[in-house]
Amino acid sequence: MPEEECREKILSQSYRDFIIPDYRSDIDVIVPQSQACVQELGFGYRAVYINETFAPEVTIERYGYNNIPGCYALTDTDAINKAGISAVQNYPTLQLLGSGVMIGFVDTGIDYQNRIFRDINGGSRIAGIWDQTIQDGALPQGFAYGSEYTKETIDQALRSENPLGIVPSIDTNGHGTFLASIAAGNRDLENQFQGAAPKAVIGMVKLKEAKDYLKEIYAIKKNAVCFQENDIMQGIYYLHQLARRQNLPLVLCLALGSNFGGHNGTTMLSRILDRYANTLNRCVVTSVGNEAAQRHHYYGVLSSDVHAEEAEIRVESGNEGFVMELWTKIPNVVTTYLVSPSGERSPAISIRQGSRFDYTFTFDRTRVEIEYRFLLENNDSQLIFYRFTNPAAGIWRVGVEPLHISDGEFHIWSSMKEFIDGDVYFLEANPDVTLTDTGTTRDAITVSYYNAVENSIDINSGRGYTRGRLIKPEFTAPGVQVTGTGIDGRFVKRSGSSIAAGITAGAAALIMEWLMQQPNVTGVTTSQVKNILLLGVEQGILPEYPNREWGYGRIDLYQSLDRLRSL
């Protein structure tokens, strides 16, 4: 299909996006291939774009849960001293600065004109920017939308009097710029700043925002900043190809999160990140999100002698809608009912594979759509998906009834705070298992964040473990009031899980640089980098490690290499 025709389909609000996994060999399961635009996502995964006339209503029942792209939000140098990075940068026989390694970001873009991203000659340290939001520039090879700006083009822009006339890509949010600065920013003596890997090559993808129909599916407020799963997957694939062309090892830094998915590393995005994590000369670092204190997670245990358990959820006024997902592991099988603030109760839903129900609470003027997925593809779980439209303010009760019980455990997650207008929270919330996807990716490095001044975990830092009890996070890094660069060139302080991910991505680049210098080393994997970092973690604050907040302890890169040397 011609590139311009495909670009129109990808960007159009009238086209629906689907993710086809590697275990499905024929896209005709969605639509005849002649009617679709197809984009490669890597490792056999594909994004498929079809006209809404072929998919007038996108439902889990018809297309499957994993085929519909999820929506992700952003997860927002004393810090590198605390992480043991400064000592490694300055140690005479080490002087690791990230040379010969690329750090890639899929985010909000980068302020490429900032001197913190230039080399000593004034040229750019950015190997490439793929801006998915600009459609009149050169297409990246193998992609049908957005515009690519190579180092040569960026250098040309930096030499001109009007840089934006040549490279018009800008970061209006600042998240991507800040993240890149703490991971790979140059030394700035005046502001006493230096990123973790100041000699690393940088790759950046600026994501386009999610389509309106996906926001409707997930009841996301119209002005929310969110990005769709297939665009993120294509951004990762672009960075993988960029690093391959540069013949450089690559650290992927993902500071995006979602409360959707089973919190056990089985979303399409987590699956493909696992593939990269197990690829030679690729390392994946993910954040935990900021959901621990938001009261968006409920944990319950059913028994055969209990008729039902009810989770109470408070809905504040001003909400146009929100989503909840209930997950339980088969052979547990449950059904559900709802009780509105006025006391009106829905019937318990009968279980049929792929069933979909629509119920309107008359007195509360609230519509709730419920979809079941009993046998999820490549998953051992049952899913119940709730979508509330114009929910009445007050306390709702979510009833969960056992039909078949093993351990009886179930979890419910509601929408992230970034996606809704007013507060929605469980009255008896559980702060554990609040890692956002992609923080549950099995083979990636997952890092929580702590206050390096007070040596205390941040109250918002997503807590482990995964729903399948995999130990996540592996460790913690500074993430509170950390200095980095803003979009106006000034240095600012920010807090959040993305900061810890950026610092850890820089530390991972230094380890990759060190490993590539060792004799008989022909390549590096995420597991090698992870194990070296685990070797040096600092403990002693709590009596038990690992734990759900700190993982195995606090990152200390110098201690990692020092202990490795003494073995």
Structure tokens at 37: 């635009």
How far is residue 413 from each of residues 129, 300, 324, 439, 497, measured CA to CA in Å? 35, 12, 6, 15, 19
Q: Are 475 and 553 in contact (CB under 8 A)?
A: yes
The total number of structural domains in the chain stands at 3
- Say yes or no: 255 and 358 in one domain: no
Judgement on whether residues 143 and 276 belong to the same structural domain of the protein:
yes
Please give the Cα distance from 218 to 212 (Å, whole number).
Answer: 10
- Residues 203, 96 within the same domain: yes
The answer to whether residue 518 scores a pLDDT higher than 50 is: yes
> HEC string of 319-387?
CCEEEEEEEEECCCEEEEEEECCCCCECCCCCCCCCCEEEEEECCCCEEEEEEEECCCCCCCEEEEEEE
Residues 352 and 454 in one domain: no
- Nearest-angstrom CA–CA distance, 237 and 276: 9
pLDDT band at 66 (very low <50, low <70, confident <90, very high): confident
pLDDT at 378: 67
At 415-463, the pLDDT tens digits run 999 999 889 999 999 999 999 999 999 999 999 999 988 889 999 999 9
Cα separation, 137 vs 235, in Å, equals 17
Residue 451 sits in the same domain as residue 529: yes
How much is the average pLDDT of 210-228? Answer: 94
Q: In what order do the strands lie in the sheet with 227-228?
A: 227-228, 71-74, 256-257
Q: What does the alpha-carbon distance between residue 501 and residue 9 come to, in Å, rounded to a whole number?
A: 34
Same structural domain, 477 and 518: yes
pLDDT band with cut points at 50, 70 and 90 for residue 77: very low
User: Which one of 391, 406, 426 terminates a domain?
Assistant: 426
Smallest CA-to-CA distance from 283 within 510, 554, 553 is with 510
Angle made by CA atoms 47, 111, 210, in degrees to the nearest 5: 30
Distance CA 125, CA 154 (A): 10
Residue 31 resides in a domain: yes
- CATH value at residue 407: 2.60.120.1290
CA distance 95 to 111: 27
Q: CB–CB of 335/344 below 8 Å?
A: no
Evaluate whether residue 238 is within a structural domain. Answer: yes
Final residue in a domain of this structure, among 426, 460, 480: 426
Whether 9 contacts 49, CB under 8 Å: yes
Question: Regarding beta strands 409-414 and 424-426, do their DSSP bridges make them parallel or antiparallel, or are they unpaired?
Answer: unpaired
d(CA 120, CA 133): 30
- At how many degrees (to 10) do helices 497-517 and 526-535 cross? 100
134, 207: one domain? yes
Which DSSP helix (H) or strand (E) runs through 151?
A: helix 151-159
Average pLDDT over all residues of the chain? 91
Q: pLDDT of 146-156, one tens digit each?
A: 999 999 999 99
Residues 248 and 185 placed together within one structural domain of the fold: yes
- The residues, ordered by sequence, that sit 6+ positions from 543 with a Cβ below 8 Å of its Cβ are none
| Whether 46 contacts 18, CB under 8 Å | no
| Tokens representing residue 13 in the block | 């609000």
In a domain, 113, yes or no: yes
pLDDT tens, position by position, 134-171:
999 999 999 999 999 999 999 999 999 999 999 999 99
DSSP string, 199-251: T-EEEEEEPPPPPHHHHHHTT--TT---EEHHHHHHHHHHHHHHHHHHT--EE
Q: What is the pLDDT of residue 3?
A: 65
Domain carrying residue 372? 297-426
- DSSP state, 554? B
Q: What is the pLDDT of residues 258-288, one digit of tens each?
A: 999 999 999 999 999 999 999 999 999 999 9
Whether 500 and 446 map to the same domain: the answer is yes
pLDDT score, position 522 = 85
DSSP letter (8 states) at residue 437: B
| Count, residues in the chain | 567
| CB 272 within 8 Å of CB 282 | no
Ramachandran area for residue 499 (φ above 0: left; ψ -120 to 50: alpha; else beta): alpha
Residues 105 and 228 in one domain: yes
Answering whether pTM is above 0.85, one says: yes
Residues in contact with 538: Cβ distance below 8 Å, sequence separation at least 6, in sequence order: 553, 554, 555, 556, 559
